[in-house]
Amino acid sequence: MFILNNSDPVPLYKQLYNQIRELILSGKLPADTRLPSIRDMAIELSASRNTVDGAYQELYAEGYLYSKPRSGYFVSALNQDTAPQTPAAKPGRNDYLQGPPSNFTYDFHPARLDPESFPTELWRKCFVDSLRRNSEQLVQYGDPQGDWGLRCSIQSYLERSRGVLCDPGQIVICSGLQQSLDIAAHILKENHSVIAVEDPGYHLPRSVFQNHSYTIVPVPVQPGGIDQNRLKASNSTIVYVTPSHQLPLGYVMPVANRLALIEWADSGGKYIIEDDYDSELRYHGKPIPSLQGLRPTGNIIYSGTFSKILSPALRLSYMVLPYSLLASYRKLYRAYFPSVSLLEQRTMANFMEQGHWERHIRRMRMIYKKKHDLLLRSVETHFGKQAVVIGYGAGLHVVLRLPESSHTEVEIIDRARQKGIRLFPFSEFHVNCQPEATTLLLGFGGLKDCEIEYGVAILSRICLSDPVAGIPVDPK
Amino acid sequence: MFILNNSDPVPLYKQLYNQIRELILSGKLPADTRLPSIRDMAIELSASRNTVDGAYQELYAEGYLYSKPRSGYFVSALNQDTAPQTPAAKPGRNDYLQGPPSNFTYDFHPARLDPESFPTELWRKCFVDSLRRNSEQLVQYGDPQGDWGLRCSIQSYLERSRGVLCDPGQIVICSGLQQSLDIAAHILKENHSVIAVEDPGYHLPRSVFQNHSYTIVPVPVQPGGIDQNRLKASNSTIVYVTPSHQLPLGYVMPVANRLALIEWADSGGKYIIEDDYDSELRYHGKPIPSLQGLRPTGNIIYSGTFSKILSPALRLSYMVLPYSLLASYRKLYRAYFPSVSLLEQRTMANFMEQGHWERHIRRMRMIYKKKHDLLLRSVETHFGKQAVVIGYGAGLHVVLRLPESSHTEVEIIDRARQKGIRLFPFSEFHVNCQPEATTLLLGFGGLKDCEIEYGVAILSRICLSDPVAGIPVDPK
């Protein structure tokens, strides 16, 4: 009745298990059938008792068999209507395989960093050191708010470089802006339901707050930052802003507007979410101090990240909660777990304590300033007065406003793709406002110097009917 | 008027910036006051022009000054009502400092692993190797669904050891169960609003789904798993279950009940969330195959974790989505980012590819089986027939039901604390059901062998008015 095959890699007891299970499920062994005793079955199969016992134990544990003391094992009553179907043929592995990584020669995506910039050797040392010192900590859950040492390092860095005044107890370590916003949306939900966002602006806050059933109010952005008259006229009680370097337009909010915005928040328990995503990268003068630093006791949620300077793949960011929200945070997140690996947090804390982080910022600022300046020069050479550059001087991208006569965004992106150029569609930043003219977002972080020059030259041919200069000699 | 101090570590331009800013904010330099030219100011201060230029540029960038072509810099009009307040004195660092880590001699918390078990040296090797091979990948965001290589390793492991049949395209890498549940709650929200959970059961699903405004229906747990009659009578269209090892009671759901539950889900687009959190740890027979394996094409969200065998501090888990939810997942999470570090994902993939993961499971199963058996023997010795052990044979905890005459949970936990014993309150698992008698949850993963024996002996003195055996000699 049963066939066991010694040369099959499946263990014998498992072969027997499979065959009995099949008979039960197909109904060929009906309910309450008594199975042969272990001894009899072993003799019949010329197998060891352990083999039979293993199969019976497993069938028993899964409920296919029941046992009666001193009588042996019997087949359980299964509802045959609910017997498992034979699994459908598995879909081919390739059905969900992503295509090969995009293979653009000139990738102007704004979220890419310099490809050779990751401090591999220093990171390895900091990691190995933190692994050696913390292996006993790895057997338990850590602090849900984040490693205390890392929070202390971030606090002191933020105070020195961003003017943020806070206590490490206000800092929450997150696995990226999305998680910070999720937490913010959650703890604010009790008393708030409408959030204003910059238009044009980053899509992520819109989608996270939408998930939490908030009403999203897009408010136009001017050179001085979000339009505060429109903000005041709205019924929003939360606003998400990028005051140091408006995403995507690059504007810096002047201090008068900052103070007015803080005043708005102070009047009646409103909240500001200040996303300071790339403030370390300012190429002229010092970085602009934060809103939080202007009113450390105000209703400001400050958010920062290691994604722009160090690596977006590490998924390490942080948020500073105002005192007014700490109690709600603790109440709602008491039962949660940390979201970032302890090893990675300790590695980052090591990296900061040893001064590598601030040295790395300085190094990256020089590297990106060079790229930034080269991009501006290339745009001047190839677009001349036919493009207006806005939002320059900081970050990892600039914005180019093209003459009204130029092609549409869709046409340009499509033609660029054919020439091996990847552009991130600027229109994705828009909710209601539409730019008067075609606007390009040129991220330069991931490009080599020669690629910037050549990429901009090709772009000018694509965008302009009458480009200013010829294409330089292909550096490839 | 301004004093620059060469021996101050603050750069000169910053000193000047601070002093001018102070005068503007205090109103001593009123709006539209013209500042001295850079040259004049430099002469007055015996400073370089760069110093003055740096200060002016920064004040200008922040909006404290405005410039008129060929006239110089002027003080901007600030709304004095909104001038920044002097930050309140910073609260002491200690206000939010957590107390020192709990210092129990015998910690029966169920989420602790063996303190010497983390494979530090292997992990280091896998990490260093993945860092070396992937440093260029670190400058960009990875696949939001998780590293493809890791997903392939998980797929093949799940098929071999858990009977889960899926495609790597169905797997989502998460930073823990909370995130998996968050995603599930989010993608199911469109068509569902009521979820049934086990009672007693894990608190996390309740709180995550509550956050997403679901109605939570607690359904009693019987030795055969969740009470399916009660489930059917409810209006729930989602159920969260732990069929391989019910948390906390340790019951295994028999196959007939599994099939019935699958049938329930199949009828009318309902969903099962199968949390297989510690299924690798079964001390007699093989692990029980998953629900997902019984109906790979069914409406089953399968969730697994590396927290119980490897480390809860790494924050690495995964979820297998059914085909029916993949389109919604992609639609809603298209614009999101991964939540786990790429380096950690690649390290784990390395660890699995080289066979370390399955060897580690086997090693940990032996270590925990020994602790588990010792715990049962100790309970027998010290509690005798005065305690009923339920839910044994698997995982990292067992449950002890005490006689009705024993102390209450609160009393026992309190008295245990005084003796250096930490107990996790079993009542936290309860929503509506109350256990008939005091019930203890004894996690044994984090205890050394001698601590198990001695800890149980002390516990018996605390719980029973008439303990069976004396306390063994203190092993410390």
Q: Classify residue B469: in a domain, yes or no.
A: no
The backbone torsions φ and ψ at residue B4, rounded to the nearest 5 degrees and listed phi first, read -105, 135
A128 touches chain B (CB under 8 A): yes
8 Å CB contact of B138 and A132: no
In this structure, the answer to whether residues B22 and B153 fall within a common structural domain is no
**Residue B216 pLDDT > 80, yes or no?**
yes
In this structure, the answer to whether residues A158 and A275 fall within a common structural domain is yes
Length of chain B: 476
A89 touches chain B (CB under 8 A): no
More confident residue, B441 or B94: B441
8 Å CB contact of B98 and A14: no
Q: How far apart are CA B447 and CA B435, in angstroms?
A: 26
**Residue B98 pLDDT > 70, yes or no?**
no
B256 touches chain A (CB under 8 A): yes
Contact present, A152 and A350 (Cβ < 8 Å): no
Determine the pLDDT at residue A92: 35
Q: Which of A285, A296, A340 sits opposite B61 (nearest CB)?
A: A285
In this structure, the answer to whether residues A227 and A347 fall within a common structural domain is yes
Q: Classify residue B127: in a domain, yes or no.
A: yes
**Residue B329 pLDDT > 80, yes or no?**
yes
| Cis amide leading into B248 (omega within 30) | yes
Determine the pLDDT at residue A12: 83
The conformation of residue B271, written as its DSSP 8-state character, comes to E
A448 touches chain B (CB under 8 A): no
Indicate the SS3 state at residue A126: helix
User: Using one digit for the tens of pLDDT, what is the confidence trace for B55-76?
Assistant: 887 787 667 888 776 778 888 8
Contact present, B395 and B382 (Cβ < 8 Å): no
Length of chain A: 476
Query: Chain B contacts of A351, Cβ < 8 Å?
Result: none
pLDDT band at B39 (very low <50, low <70, confident <90, very high): confident
Residue with tokens 């692993």: B113
- What DSSP string runs through A197-257? EEES--HHHHHHHHHTTPEEEEEEEETTEE-HHHHHHS--SEEEE-TTS-TTT-----HHH
Output the domain CATH number for residue A286.
3.40.640.10
Chain B residues 267-296 with a CB less than 8 Å from chain A:
284-286, 288-289, 293-296
Q: Which residues pair with A245 in a beta bridge?
A: none
Chain B residues 388-427 with a CB less than 8 Å from chain A:
none
Q: Which residues pair with B215 in a beta bridge?
A: B194
Q: Flag the least confident range among A29-43, A125-139, A206-220, B55-69.
A: B55-69
In this structure, the answer to whether residues B276 and B401 fall within a common structural domain is no
ipTM value, please give it.
Answer: 0.79
| Chain B interface, best mutation among A51, A52, A128, A140, by max B CB count within 10 A | A140
Q: How far apart are CA B104 and CA A221, in angstroms?
A: 56
In this structure, the answer to whether residues B187 and B329 fall within a common structural domain is yes
In this structure, the answer to whether residues A329 and A444 fall within a common structural domain is no
Q: Which residues pair with A225 in a beta bridge?
A: A222
Q: Flag the least confident range among A278-292, A398-412, A442-456, B393-407.
A: A278-292
Determine the pLDDT at residue B464: 85
Q: How far apart are CA B425 and CA B441, in angstroms?
A: 7
Instruction: Please work out, in degrees rounded to the nearest 5, the angle formed at the alpha carbon of residue A95 by the alpha carbons of A93 and A99.
Output: 100
Nearest Cα to Cα of residue B243 among B302, B174, B295, B184: B302
Determine the pLDDT at residue A328: 93
C-alpha atoms less than 13 angstroms from C-alpha of A200 in its C-beta half-sphere: 22
8 Å CB contact of A337 and B316: no
Q: Classify residue B284: in a domain, yes or no.
A: yes
**Residue B249 pLDDT > 80, yes or no?**
yes
| Chain A interface, best mutation among B58, B109, B232, B341, by max A CB count within 10 A | B341
B112 touches chain A (CB under 8 A): yes
More confident residue, B435 or B227: B227
Of the three residues A357, A386, A403, the one that is the final residue of a domain is A357
A1 touches chain B (CB under 8 A): no
Nearest Cα to Cα of residue A469 among A371, A369, A377: A377
C-alpha distances in Å from residue A108, one per residue of A314, A425, A455, A467, A468: 21, 10, 9, 20, 21
pLDDT band at B291 (very low <50, low <70, confident <90, very high): very high
Q: How far apart are CA B394 and CA B287, in angstroms?
A: 9
Contact present, B169 and B312 (Cβ < 8 Å): no
A23 touches chain B (CB under 8 A): no
**Residue B8 pLDDT > 90, yes or no?**
no
**Residue A2 pLDDT > 50, yes or no?**
yes
8 Å CB contact of B136 and A124: no
8 Å CB contact of B335 and A165: no
B324 touches chain A (CB under 8 A): no
Output the domain CATH number for residue A387.
3.90.1150.10
Question: Does the CA dihedral A260-A264-A265-A266 come out positive or negative?
Answer: positive
| Chain A interface, best mutation among B160, B311, B330, by max A CB count within 10 A | B311
Burial state string for A155-190 with b = 16 or more CB within 10 A and e = fewer than 16 = bebbeebbbbbbbbbbbbbbbbbbbbbbbbbbbbbe
Determine the pLDDT at residue B46: 82
| Nearest CA-CA distance, residue A464 and chain B, Å | 30
Q: Classify residue B159: in a domain, yes or no.
A: yes
Determine the pLDDT at residue A93: 33
Q: Which of A62, A93, A148 sits opposite B254 (nearest CB)?
A: A62
Q: Classify residue B224: in a domain, yes or no.
A: yes
In this structure, the answer to whether residues A148 and A73 fall within a common structural domain is no
CB pairs under 8 A between A and B: 297
Contacts of B359 (CB under 8 A, 6+ apart): none
Average pLDDT, chain B: 88
One-letter amino acid for residue A248 of the chain: P
CA-nearest residue to A224 within chain B is B63
Question: Does the CA dihedral B256-B257-B260-B265 come out positive or negative?
Answer: negative
> What average pLDDT does this structure show over B139-148?
91
Q: Which of A116, A120, A255 sits opposite B63 (nearest CB)?
A: A255
**Residue A124 pLDDT > 80, yes or no?**
yes
| Nearest CA-CA distance, residue B64 and chain A, Å | 6
Of the three residues B338, B357, B376, the one that is the final residue of a domain is B357
User: Using one digit for the tens of pLDDT, what is the confidence trace for B372-426?
Assistant: 999 999 999 999 999 999 988 999 999 999 988 788 899 999 999 999 999 999 9
Q: How far apart are CA A3 and CA A416, in angstroms?
A: 64
- What DSSP string runs through B119-178? -HHHHHHHHHHHHHHHGGGGGS---TT--HHHHHHHHHHHHHHH-----GGGEEEESSHH
Q: Which of A57, A61, A115 sits opposite B136 (nearest CB)?
A: A115
**Residue A106 pLDDT > 90, yes or no?**
yes
Question: Does the CA dihedral A123-A129-A134-A136 come out positive or negative?
Answer: positive
Number of domains in chain B: 3
- What DSSP string runs through B380-419? HHHHGGGSEEES-SBTTEEEEEPPTTSPPHHHHHHHHHHT
Determine the pLDDT at residue A82: 40
Q: How far apart are CA A118 and CA A360, in angstroms?
A: 9
Determine the pLDDT at residue A77: 79
Q: Classify residue B67: in a domain, yes or no.
A: yes
> What average pLDDT does this structure show over A350-354?
96
Structure tokens at B113: 């692993």
Q: Quick one: what percent of chain B has pLDDT higher than 90? A: 62
Q: Which of B95, B114, B293 sits opposite A169 (nearest CB)?
A: B95
| Chain A interface, best mutation among B259, B307, B328, B333, by max A CB count within 10 A | B259
- What DSSP string runs through A407-432? --HHHHHHHHHHTTEE-B-GGGG-SS
8 Å CB contact of A83 and B311: no
Number of CB atoms found within 10 A of residue A370's CB: 14
**Residue A89 pLDDT > 50, yes or no?**
no
User: Using one digit for the tens of pLDDT, what is the confidence trace for A408-441?
Assistant: 899 999 999 999 999 999 998 998 877 778 899 9
Supply the range of the domain harboring residue A283.
120-357
Instruction: Please work out, in degrees rounded to the nearest 5, the angle formed at the alpha carbon of residue A326 by the alpha carbons of B181 and A318.
Output: 65
In this structure, the answer to whether residues B455 and B380 fall within a common structural domain is yes
Q: Quick one: what percent of chain B has pLDDT higher than 70? A: 92
pLDDT band at B102 (very low <50, low <70, confident <90, very high): low
C-alpha atoms less than 13 angstroms from C-alpha of A279 in its C-beta half-sphere: 26
Q: Classify residue B347: in a domain, yes or no.
A: yes
In this structure, the answer to whether residues B382 and B320 fall within a common structural domain is no
Q: Which H or E run includes A4?
A: none
Determine the pLDDT at residue B287: 64
> What average pLDDT does this structure show over A156-174?
94
Nearest Cα to Cα of residue B158 among B16, B318, B311, B344: B318
**Residue A101 pLDDT > 60, yes or no?**
no
Of the three residues A338, A357, A376, the one that is the final residue of a domain is A357
Q: How far apart are CA A173 and CA A7, in angstroms?
A: 54
Determine the pLDDT at residue B76: 83
8 Å CB contact of B131 and A124: yes
**Residue A56 pLDDT > 70, yes or no?**
yes
**Residue A84 pLDDT > 50, yes or no?**
no
B344 touches chain A (CB under 8 A): yes
Chain B residues 452-471 with a CB less than 8 Å from chain A:
none
> What average pLDDT does this structure show over A357-369?
95
> What average pLDDT does this structure show over A329-356?
92
Q: How far apart are CA B323 and CA A132, in angstroms?
A: 42
User: Using one digit for the tens of pLDDT, what is the confidence trace for A237-279?
Assistant: 999 999 999 999 999 999 999 999 999 999 989 999 999 999 8
* pTM for this prediction: 0.80
| Nearest CA-CA distance, residue A405 and chain B, Å | 32
| Nearest CA-CA distance, residue B463 and chain A, Å | 27
| Nearest CA-CA distance, residue B381 and chain A, Å | 26
Q: What is the 3-state secondary structure (H, E, C) of A296-358?
A: CCCCEEEEEECCCCCCCCCCCEEEECCHHHHHHHHHHHCCCCCCCCHHHHHHHHHHHHCCHHH
The conformation of residue A385, written as its DSSP 8-state character, comes to G
8 Å CB contact of B314 and A123: no
In this structure, the answer to whether residues A258 and A389 fall within a common structural domain is no
Q: How far apart are CA B348 and CA A194, in angstroms?
A: 41
8 Å CB contact of A82 and B262: yes
Query: Chain A contacts of B61, Cβ < 8 Å?
Result: 252, 284-285, 288
8 Å CB contact of B256 and A113: no
Chain A residues 302-321 with a CB less than 8 Å from chain B:
307, 311-316
Chain A residues 189-228 with a CB less than 8 Å from chain B:
203-204, 207, 211, 213, 224
Instruction: Please work out, in degrees rounded to the nearest 5, the angle formed at the alpha carbon of residue A279 by the alpha carbons of A275 and A281.
Output: 145
Structure tokens at A359: 């040295």
Q: Classify residue B189: in a domain, yes or no.
A: yes
Q: Which residues pair with B59 in a beta bridge?
A: none
Contact present, A389 and A476 (Cβ < 8 Å): no
Contact present, A292 and A274 (Cβ < 8 Å): yes
| Nearest CA-CA distance, residue B120 and chain A, Å | 7
Q: How far apart are CA B306 and CA B351, in angstroms?
A: 12
Determine the pLDDT at residue A102: 53
More confident residue, B327 or A22: B327
In this structure, the answer to whether residues A350 and A442 fall within a common structural domain is no
B14 touches chain A (CB under 8 A): yes
Q: Which of A79, A137, A167 sits opposite B313 (nearest CB)?
A: A137
CA-nearest residue to A263 within chain B is B82
Indicate the SS3 state at residue A437: coil
**Residue A95 pLDDT > 60, yes or no?**
no
- Outline where DSSP puts E strands in B64-114: 65-68, 72-75, 106-107
User: Using one digit for the tens of pLDDT, what is the confidence trace for B300-320?
Assistant: 999 999 999 999 999 999 999
CA-nearest residue to B289 within chain A is A62
Average pLDDT, chain A: 88
Sheet holding B215-222, edge to edge: B171-174, B317-320, B300-305, B271-275, B238-241, B194-199, B215-222, B225-226
Query: Chain B contacts of A116, Cβ < 8 Å?
Result: 136
Question: Does the CA dihedral B346-B347-B350-B351 come out positive or negative?
Answer: negative
Query: Chain A contacts of B323, Cβ < 8 Å?
Result: 91
Query: Chain A contacts of B284, Cβ < 8 Å?
Result: 57, 61
Query: Chain A contacts of B313, Cβ < 8 Å?
Result: 137-142, 338, 341-343
A437 touches chain B (CB under 8 A): no
**Residue A442 pLDDT > 60, yes or no?**
yes
Burial state string for A267-292 with b = 16 or more CB within 10 A and e = fewer than 16 = eeebbbbbbbbbbbbbbebbbbbbbb
Output the domain CATH number for residue A76.
1.10.10.10
In this structure, the answer to whether residues A230 and A329 fall within a common structural domain is yes
